[in-house]
A = this chain, B = another copy of it.
């Protein structure tokens, strides 16, 4: 799903600045989407060009704060785009790519990679657990629980089999 579609959906709830929009994406959709300013502002610009959002500039000097609001046509566009999304997931892992070539890697590097990945998963699990579940819609809670169950599976795997695998590789080598 494109960032612009995400913006449309988020603006359904209330008008927001681009900056706030980025915070929302990172904060509440961060477990399956990303956003950078370099992508966000151009996206908002083209959304405005298509009259799917309007923007209200409060300050008049230079770059003022800009409040984006969705239009009627924007609502229609969002509904249309949402109905078209597939159930696809896009997973790319440098971690697994490296481990695939584990036989070319030093044991230290393999262990470092696994520990790093484990730390990342745990940090993300903490973040997910700290989310304000109570104030979310059921759909939003669903995404959090889904992400959580994936993280848990990954942590469990890496903690158990991951270390076992390193032992096998060590044994193969010496």
Contacts and interface: CB of A to CB of B under 8 A. Distances in A.
A41 interface: no
B138 A33 contact: no
Contacts of A83: 105, 109
B97 A33 contact: yes
A91 B90 CA distance: 6
A1 to B, nearest CB: 4
Interface in A18-57: 28-29, 31-34
Contacts of A162: 142, 146
Interface in A66-113: 78-79, 82-83, 85-105, 109-110, 113
A96 B146 contact: yes
Given A145-B157, A161-B145, A117 B91 contact: no
A122 to B, nearest CB: 12
A145 B99 CA distance: 12
A90 to B, nearest CB: 4
The 3 A-B residue pairs with the shortest CB-CB distance, nearest first, are: A102-B139, A153-B153, A87-B116
Interface of A: 1, 5-6, 9, 12, 28-29, 31-34, 78-79, 82-83, 85-105, 109-110, 113-114, 116-117, 120, 137-143, 145-147, 149-150, 152-154, 156-158, 161-162, 165, 168-169, 172
25 contacts: A28-B100, A29-B96, A31-B91, A34-B92, A82-B104, A83-B105, A83-B109, A85-B94, A87-B98, A87-B114, A87-B116, A87-B117, A89-B93, A89-B120, A96-B143, A99-B139, A99-B146, A102-B140, A138-B169, A142-B161, A145-B157, A146-B154, A149-B153, A150-B153, A150-B157
